[in-house]
A and B are shown apart, each in its own frame.
Chain A
């Protein structure tokens, strides 16, 4: 059974993001639920990465996008969103690292890479 864990700072990051982009946050969390269910059902991270809302990033980081969200809400175009997660098979845990949009993508990935280094170190 795969479990979910919030990495350091994720909650604050999510809180800020969802305040501005509620619909995107909602869609991305629904996709996270699908990703988690598929992982539980198949126990195959590589297989789950084939889902079409999943994007492979460097260092084994997985980005889930906001596919499934309506294109517009109250006349405002929705932002392309990424929820960055990292799966550690040894303890069957899916770590939630960060959430952000295309504008913050480079910075988000930089932060995620540092977090992954830390998580790998802790698990070894």
Chain B
């Protein structure tokens, strides 16, 4: 059975090609991450390019060009038009380079906290809204706890191993005698 690969870059790395050629191919794949994301979002919505073009108020060929453009060549205007066509909002986030996964989790937690506070602020004074917000807090709490528990349970627990050392019989006897004397 041949080896299987999780992505095209890994597959290219495995091939017997000149080093520079491999790097050029991987760089080319990485240069189209954003445009690839656009294609993925459109197909997830079950939309073809023609439909997206109609919603965007442009031609199908413009949509096609956006989906093949290198990320550096895509304009903010094009991204805004595209997200409009998919009924989505675009937001830009600037993050420090090499952010750790735990920092990402903390960042999301801070965002959740901020949004919940905003919800409380909005609902204050209105009984129905306050009740709804309260029930939402309960829902959130249950979901978060179960999510974290599930993730923690999937970690492999490391059992502490006890190391037993047994010596030759004479030595064991000697040790026993010595401990008896003490």
Using a CB–CB cutoff of 8 Å, the interface residues on chain A facing chain B are 1, 3-8, 11, 14-15, 18, 22, 25-27, 29-30, 32-34, 36-38, 41-42, 47-48, 50-52, 67-68, 93, 96
Report whether B8 and A26 are in contact in the complex, using a CB–CB cutoff of 8 Å: no
Alpha-carbon distance A7/B17, docked complex (angstroms): 17
In the bound complex, residues from chain A placing their C-beta under 8 Å from that of B16 are 11, 15
Asked if B123 is at the interface of the complex by the 8 Å CB criterion, the answer is: no
Known contacts: A25-B25, A32-B8, A67-B68. The answer to whether A38 contacts B40 by CB under 8 A is yes
Alpha-carbon distance A4/B5, docked complex (angstroms): 5
Chain A contact residues: helix, strand, loop or mixed: helix
CB neighbors of A among B11-41 (8 A): 11-12, 15-17, 21, 24-25, 28-29, 32, 36, 39-40
Known contacts: A4-B5, A15-B17, A29-B12. The answer to whether A42 contacts B43 by CB under 8 A is yes
Report whether B3 and A5 are in contact in the complex, using a CB–CB cutoff of 8 Å: yes
In the bound complex, residues from chain B placing their C-beta under 8 Å from that of A27 are 28
Chain B minimum-CB-distance residue to A3 = B4
Chain B minimum-CB-distance residue to A69 = B68
Chain B minimum-CB-distance residue to A7 = B2
Chain A minimum-CB-distance residue to B32 = A30
In the bound complex, residues from chain A placing their C-beta under 8 Å from that of B68 are 67-68
Using a CB–CB cutoff of 8 Å, the interface residues on chain B facing chain A are 2-9, 11-12, 15-17, 21, 24-25, 28-29, 32, 36, 39-40, 43-44, 46, 48-49, 64, 68
Known contacts: A5-B2, A6-B2, A26-B24. The answer to whether A14 contacts B8 by CB under 8 A is no
In the bound complex, residues from chain A placing their C-beta under 8 Å from that of B24 are 22, 26
8 Å CB contact of A4 from B8, B32, B48: B8
8 Å CB contact of B25 from A29, A34, A37: A29
8 Å CB contact of B39 from A1, A11, A38: A38
In the bound complex, residues from chain A placing their C-beta under 8 Å from that of B43 are 38, 41-42, 47-48, 50-51
Report whether B39 and A36 are in contact in the complex, using a CB–CB cutoff of 8 Å: no
Chain B minimum-CB-distance residue to A12 = B16
Known contacts: A18-B17, A37-B40, A67-B68. The answer to whether A4 contacts B11 by CB under 8 A is yes
In angstroms, how far is the closest chain B Cβ from the Cβ of A22?
7
Report whether B7 and A47 are in contact in the complex, using a CB–CB cutoff of 8 Å: no
Report whether B5 and A29 are in contact in the complex, using a CB–CB cutoff of 8 Å: no
The 9 closest A-B pairs by CB, nearest first: A68-B68, A3-B4, A33-B8, A4-B5, A26-B28, A33-B29, A34-B36, A5-B4, A30-B29
Alpha-carbon distance A26/B22, docked complex (angstroms): 10
Report whether B7 and A36 are in contact in the complex, using a CB–CB cutoff of 8 Å: yes
